[in-house]
Amino acid sequence: MSLDDKIRDACHRIEELYYETNGKCYVSFSGGKDSTVLLALIKLCEEVYTIPEGGIPAVFCNTGIEMGIVVDFVRWVRDNWYSNVQIIRPEHSFDWCLKTYGKPTVSKMKSEKLRQWHRGRRTEALLRTMLDGKSVSGKASHTGKIADKHIHMLSDDYDIKPSPMCCTVMKKKPFKNYEKENGIKGAAVGLRMQEGGARSLKSEERARSGQKICTYSNRGIIFKAPIVDWDDGDVEQFIREYDVPLSEAYTKYNFHRTGCMGCPYSMNVDKSLEYLFYHEPNRYKASMHWLKDVYIAQNVVLPFDESYEREREREWRLRYEPMRQEMLRKYRPNSRLIKESGQTSIFDFIDEEE
């Protein structure tokens, strides 16, 4: 399909959502690239009068752990580009969430598997999923597989409590409250299948069963993903051709994705933390206050922070590397890391220099 065809389909999906819900819908706006493209598409619908101007509110949840550069962009959008931006907040703080449930680790799905493991649900099925990436039926389930580099997290000596609940408490619940308080019947989301993740997998499952890939229901709410079938090239072309404004996180600092500051789930958490270190130091300090132990446990290397690096190297030399070797010998004795364990460690040279 051409981009023009995809724009037409996306606009039709937006219009369909608006009229199916009698206008009781909103767009989940994160300040990121995809949700900003979604707002631009809504504006296209408004320009041809298929939906009323400002008829679909853009709802942004300011969790208190967003990057400042993203919050600034959301406010700019509200004041200069799309007037119906509504900002909501969670009931509880991030600090409360961590103390109550535990800390995000590696990914949402792996956090959940590790949470179950450390709470005592040590079934063969769970272990098989984490070690082999297969479900009970033998079906591939790589989203829950624990890599060799993280296998020390299975140890009884691993004392960080993993949990995926931060997303639920800080983002999902505030949107559920907003939906209830405003009689919401539908929402538009910037989900794209190319991005992967749990929701994308569900879209693929719907496609295989002959259902609409752009539509699903949950809790009586209709969710539409107008750009679900767009690829990265479509998004970039649309941004260029329609002069879509973006956060400086993309235009100045070359982020590929935005999200909560210093999120351990991010594949580029080191780059996110480097940005905070130089440009938003108070948020960097906050990230370290809450999640430094997780960064160290995930062996996130931050060469710009000498103090952190000394602590990371010490923790890995004294705790995590021995822990990992023990878990590998127990669960994956043929691992490459086991074969290499007899080689001289970089930390041996550090000890000699000291």
Separation between Cα atoms, residue 56 and residue 343, nearest integer Å? 60
pLDDT digits (tens, 9 = 90+) for 254-283: 888 888 999 999 989 999 999 999 999 999
Can you give the pLDDT at residue 205? 57
Q: Is 70 exceeded by the pLDDT of residue 334? A: yes
Strand 215-218 relative to strand 221-224, pairing: antiparallel
Separation between Cα atoms, residue 261 and residue 249, nearest integer Å? 12
Can you give the pLDDT at residue 137? 61
Mean pLDDT across the chain: 90
One-letter amino acid at 31 equals G
Query: pTM for this structure?
Result: 0.86
Sign of the Cα pseudo-torsion (31, 258, 7, 216, in order): negative
pLDDT digits (tens, 9 = 90+) for 127-182: 999 999 876 566 666 678 999 999 999 999 999 999 999 999 999 999 999 999 99
Separation between Cα atoms, residue 97 and residue 64, nearest integer Å? 12
Can you give the pLDDT at residue 343? 47
The first and second tokens of residue 13, run together, are: 């999906």
Mean pLDDT on 184-196? 88
Strands (DSSP E) contained in 133-269 are 186-188, 215-218, 221-224
CB of 105 closer than 8 Å to CB of 90:
no
Residue with the bigger pLDDT between 207 and 179: it is 179
Task: Kindly list the structural domains of the chain, giving each domain's residue range(s) and its CATH number in brackets, ordered by start.
Answer: 3-93+165-251 (3.40.50.620)
The first and second tokens of residue 130, run together, are: 């984490």
Can you give the pLDDT at residue 133? 86
Q: Is 60 exceeded by the pLDDT of residue 352? A: no
Least reliable range by pLDDT among 29-33, 84-88, 193-197, 253-257 = 193-197
Separation between Cα atoms, residue 269 and residue 262, nearest integer Å? 6
Can you give the pLDDT at residue 233? 96
Separation between Cα atoms, residue 190 and residue 324, nearest integer Å? 38
Beta bridge partners, 167, equal none
Least reliable range by pLDDT among 54-58, 203-207, 288-292 = 203-207
Q: Is 60 exceeded by the pLDDT of residue 206? A: no
| Residue 316 DSSP class | I
Confidence of residue 338 (pLDDT cuts 50, 70, 90): confident
